[in-house]
Structure 1
C-alpha cells in the first residue's frame, strides 16, 4: 500500500504532459483492442460476417497506434532522459503496447475464423465453449487495463492469478471440442475453426497477464516476468 501511495504522489508531483499523454494513448489502445475482441466473438456467435469484416479492417488502426506510442516513448527518452519510476513507466508502456498489438492480432484471427464459419451456416456446436471462455478472457483483460489505468499493483497481482482459471477453461473447451469431432466426423472441419478460436482466446489471456506484470514493474520496480508462483 505504501509503495502505491509513494508512486501516486510521485506521479502527481512530477508527471509531465508527455508522459501522461503516453499513458492516455495506451489506455485508448487498450479500449480499441477490447472492442476488437468483443466484436470478433460476437461475429463468431452470431454468424455476422459483416462485423467480422469490420474487425479485420480495423486491425490496421491498432497497428498504427502501436507505432505512434512507440515513437512517443522514444522521443520522451531522448528529450527528457527520465529516471526512476518515469523511466519504468516508459519501458512498461513499450512492452504493454506490444502485448496489446498481439491481442489485436488474435482478435483479427478470430474474425477470420468467423468468416469461414458463416460460410457453412449457423451452428451452436462449440459456441457455448467460445462464449464461456471469451467472457473470462474479456474480464481478465478489462481488469488488467483497469489496474494499469490506476497503477494498482494489488489488483494486477490478483488478476494474474485469474489466468490459471483461463488455462483450465481452455483445457475443458479442448476436451469438449475433441468429443464433438469424435461423435460426428462431419463436424471436424467446423470444429477445427473453433479450436483455433479458443486458442486465440487463451493467448489473449496470456497477454493480459503480461500487462499486469508491467503494472507491478512500474509501481514496485520489480520485474516478475518468467517467475513461477507469481
Structure 2
C-alpha cells in the first residue's frame, strides 16, 4: 500500500509542477501585455485560462482519489492536503492574470501623450520574484526561502497602498483619463494579490515541512522563529 501511495504521489507532484508552470507563465504574459499594451498576449492569457481550470480540477480529483484509496495519515496526509491547497492558490493566480489581461484593451486606448504612464516596474519585480521563489520553495521543500517570501509581503502591500494614493491624485489631475488610472489600480490590486498567493503557498510549505500553521503568526517568522 505504501509503495502504491508513493507512486500516486509522484504523479501528483508532476501534475502540480505542470500547474505551477502554467500559472506562472500566465501571470508573466499578462504583465508583459499590460506593459506593452499587447492585445494578442492578453488574449492568449484569457484563452488559456480554461486549460488551467481543467488542470486544477484534475489535480483536485487526483488528491481526493488518493485520500479515498490510501487514507494517508501524519506526514503523508499533510503532503496531499498541501498539494490540494497550493493547487487552489495557483488557479487563483491564473485568474488574476486574466483580470490583468482584461484591462489591456481599455488601457491601450490611451495614447502615450495623453496620460502620465503608470510605473509598475518595482511592484512587478517584487511580486514576480515572490511568486518564483514560492514555486522554487515548493519544488525543493525549502522552508528558509518560504520564510523570506513571507517577510516580503508587506513590501508589496505598501506599494499597492501608495499606488492607491497616486491613482487618486492622477484622477483629480487628469479626470478625462480616469478610466486609465482605474485600470492601473486594478492591475496594482491584482499584483498585490499575486504576492499574497506567493505568501499563502509559502505558509503551506512551512505547514508541510514542520506541521506548523503560520497564517496568523507572521510575527514569529519575521523574528526568525
TM-score (norm: length of structure 1):
0.89
Measure, in 1, the Cα distance between the counterparts of 2:122 and 2:193: 15
Q: Deviations over 1:115-165 (max 9, x none)?
A: 22123345673431x232111110000010100100111111111001111
Q: Does residue 1:154 correspond to 2:123, yes or no?
A: no
From 102, 106, 116, the equivalent of 1:125 is 116
CA contact (8 A) 2:5 2:66 kept: no
Measure, in 2, the Cα distance between the counterparts of 1:75 and 1:212: 25
Match of 2:96 in 1: 106
- Equivalent pairs, count: 217
Measure, in 2, the Cα distance between the counterparts of 1:149 and 1:125: 41
Measure, in 2, the Cα distance between the counterparts of 1:178 and 1:32: 34
Q: Deviations over 1:84-125 (max 9, x none)?
A: 211101001111111111111111000000122123345673
CA RMSD of aligned residues (A): 1.8
Unaligned runs of 5+ in 1: 1-12
Unaligned runs of 5+ in 2: none
SS of 1:127's partner is coil
Q: Deviations over 1:35-75 (max 9, x none)?
A: 11111111111111111011000011111111010011011
CA 1:14–1:153: 2 relative to 1, 3 Å:
farther
Match of 1:74 in 2: 64
Match of 1:174 in 2: 164
CA contact (8 A) 1:126 1:177 kept: no
Shift of 1:14: 9.7
CA 1:14–1:72: 2 relative to 1, 3 Å:
closer
From 10, 14, 28, the equivalent of 2:18 is 28
CA 1:172–1:126: 2 relative to 1, 3 Å:
farther
Q: Deviations over 1:161-186 (max 9, x none)?
A: 01111111212222222222222222
CA 1:136–1:15: 2 relative to 1, 3 Å:
farther
SS of 2:104's partner is helix
Match of 1:196 in 2: 186
